Amino acid sequence: MASSASNEELDKEMASINHTFEDLKTMLGMDMTDELIQLFLPTLDECLANLGAVIEAGNGDAVVSCAHKLKGAAAQLGAQTLADLCKKVEQTGRDKTLNEAWPYHDRIMSLGSAVGQCLRER
């Protein structure tokens, strides 16, 4: 079972996300925070729900697809730690070394769930 994200790790990730929101607001002249969150959450939920199953099944292509999808969504939102973890899982799928994905999966589940909760509470 995934342990919960540390407060420090979550605070750092949320600060990065909030920085992205502020940068976009400055560049666009409008606040797109709600729209970005609404686009991100379904991808987060889908990938958190499916990633463990595709790792367990040994389906490297599905692991690559799922991790890549969440990596991109997280990076666009400014969730760089989450994106970096997804990149590592994606690589295990490409390398067919899925047994190495589990520690990253656990951190993705923990941090991703915590980030999702924070975004839903905004």
- Tell me, yes or no, whether 2 lies in a domain: no
How large a percentage of the chain has pLDDT more than 70? 98
**pLDDT tens-place string over residues 90-107:** 999 999 999 999 999 999
Q: From CA 89, how far away is CA 62, in angstroms rounded?
A: 11
- Tell me, yes or no, whether 116 lies in a domain: yes
- Tell me, yes or no, whether 13 lies in a domain: yes
**pLDDT tens-place string over residues 67-89:** 999 999 999 999 999 999 999 99
- Count of structural domains, the chain: 1
Q: From CA 19, how far away is CA 33, in angstroms rounded?
A: 11
**pLDDT tens-place string over residues 9-25:** 999 999 999 999 999 99
- Tell me, yes or no, whether 41 lies in a domain: yes
Model confidence, pTM: 0.93
Q: What residues contact residue 33 under an 8 Å CB cut-off, 6+ apart?
A: 21, 25, 122
